[in-house]
Amino acid sequence: MLEIQERFDTVGYERLKEVSGSAVLHITEAIDGDGVIGFIAYSYGAERTIVYDYDDGGDLMLCDGLVRSVMLKSVLKGIKHMLFDFDDSSKFDDLKRLRFVSGDSRQCSDLDSFMNSCQSCKNKK
């Protein structure tokens, strides 16, 4: 069964720790059985959450779940913006497909409205 769990250390993610600089790096992993099948690495700021990298193993729905889990935690902290700050431009293709970003933007603004609009989708038939 798939679980999305935050790690409380950065062991194995040292490269991302370096990329995040002085920010406190958070890692959330997707775990299926005993194995990690994906992750998202991010930090919280006063005004925005910064995503440094993610790996969804090519699974678009896993990408959606990982990003939404961080969005929800950001909204609960009162953060309204998310910046995707990674060099691999191919990762933006899935983010665009899922409508997290559009065009050349690297930011998803107004997370609270974004999450609330998704709430209304499940009520549509």
Its domain, for residue 22, covers 2-121
**Mean of the pLDDT values across residues 38-54?**
96
CATH code (residue 109): 3.40.630.30
DSSP labels for the chain? Answer: -EEEEE-SS-TT-HHHHHHHTTS--EEEEEEETTEEEEEEEEEE-SSEEEEEEEE-TT-HHHHHHHHHHHHHHHHHTT--EEEE--S-TTHHHHHHHTTSS-TT--EEE-HHHHHHHHHHHTT--
Query: What's the total number of domains in the chain?
Result: 1
Read off the pLDDT band of 125 (50, 70, 90): very low
Mean pLDDT of all residues in the chain?
A: 90
**One-letter amino acid of 43:** S
Read off the pLDDT band of 118 (50, 70, 90): low
Global pTM reads 0.89
Q: What is the pLDDT of residue 84?
A: 97
